[in-house]
Structure formats: structure tokens, C-alpha cells
Amino acid sequence: MKKILFLFCFLLVATACCFAQDDWKLRSDKDGIKSYSRKTGDSKINAIKLEADFATSLSGIVTVIVDVSKYDEWIYNSKNTRLLKQVSPTELYYYAEIRFPWPTSNRDFVSHVTISQNPQSKTVTINATNVTGWEPIKKNLVRIENSVGKWIITPVGKNHVSVLYELQVDPGGDLPVLLINSFSSTGMVATFKNLRRRLERTDLAPGALPYIKE
């Protein structure tokens, strides 16, 4: 009887945890882009998730995502992005400054990016986590200390991929929570729209990547 009671309690807790971890709320579903948000722990700042399909190959979208020198052309409010170190074809560090609405200060951060691929499913995962110590603090900019982003890119047909992106970021400083949540959600949807337009440009079509299996 005790074993049955223990098993019941364990399953109840496990089920509750699973639901808590996936408690996403749909915020918008427009132009083929779904945007979600959810609370995380005690933070008042929402985590963001986006889902969309893109007509491109795995190499095509990975090439765009890891080319940090072009971020200012498609990432929402990106102002100044530059590569700091290319450790390998699948690992890099970059610096970025993001424009924030007046009268708040712009933000900046350094991110560590790693790329991996599941050999069976061919799903590509790109992790981007902020790091410290790579770039001095700049006057009139607020340094973002906590930011974690993840791209999960799954092939769903020839030259067609399904993309899931998750972001948890604390922009720092004294900003209203409503402004932060609105800015994050609006910014990521705009970024996805820009990414789609960029991938549709035939003059920017990239070749195959040696470390990506199509």
C-alpha cells in the first residue's frame, strides 16, 4: 500500500512539473508566426517562444543565424554587432548593442553561441548564452547580464524547415515590466518576419555547410 501511495504521489508531482514547464500562452498567430509567453519562477519578465516554418534548407537558415556581421540587417533594433572570436565553425562569441525605446538607455551584451545537430533526426540546435569578461562596460549603455536563447530547427521536407525559438532575458536597469514584455514579444515577431524576407532573397542564397547534414 505504501509503495502504491508513493508511486501515485510521484506521478502526480511529475505530471504537475511537466505542465508547469510547458505553460505557454499564445499571444499572437499571424502571418505564419506563432508567439507565446510564460512566467518563469519568481521573475515578472516573461519568457518568449516563437514558432514558424521557413522555405529554406538547414544550411540556409543556419548560415544566416550564425553570420553575426549581418544581424543589424534583420534582427529587430540591432545597432552594432561584431564577431569577437570564432572558436570553430560551430562555436563563436559576439558582441551586440540593442536599441531601446527613448528615454531608456540602449543595452549591450556578449553571447556565446554553439551549434549542434542530432544525427538521426537532423534537427539543429543553436544555443546562445550571455557571458561576462569579454567586453568592458560602456558609458551610457546598460549591460545585459542574464540572457538565454535557443533555436531548434527541424527539417520537414526538401528546402523546408520548422523553427522554434525561445528567449529568456532580463534587460537590466529600471524598466517597467510591461514595457520589457511588450518590447521582447514585438521585437521577436519582427525579427522572424525580417528573417523570412532575408531567406527569400535569391541573391543571398548560401551554399551547403560542411557540418550540417541535410
All three cell numbers of 9: 504521489
Which tens digits make up the pLDDT trace of 178-200? 656 666 678 889 999 999 999 98
In one-letter notation, the amino acid at residue 152 is I
Asked if residue 79 lies in contact with residue 103, where contact means CB atoms within 8 angstroms, the answer is: no
Tell whether omega for the bond before 101 is within 30 degrees of 0, i.e. cis. no
Which tens digits make up the pLDDT trace of 134-166? 999 999 999 998 899 999 999 998 889 999 999
Considering 41-45, 83-87, 143-147, 182-186, the range whose residues carry the highest mean pLDDT is 83-87
Average pLDDT rounded to a whole number, residues 19-46: 81
SS (H, E, C) 4-31: HHHHHHHHHHHHHHHHHHCCCEEEEEEC
CA atoms within 13 A on the CB side of 95: 13
Asked if residue 106 lies in contact with residue 141, where contact means CB atoms within 8 angstroms, the answer is: yes
C-alpha of 134 from chain center:
21
Asked if residue 35 lies in contact with residue 26, where contact means CB atoms within 8 angstroms, the answer is: yes
Which tens digits make up the pLDDT trace of 99-112? 987 778 899 999 99
Q: Which domains does the chain have, with CATH numbers?
A: 24-204 (3.30.530.20)
pTM reported for the whole predicted model: 0.85
d(CA 53, CA 159): 11
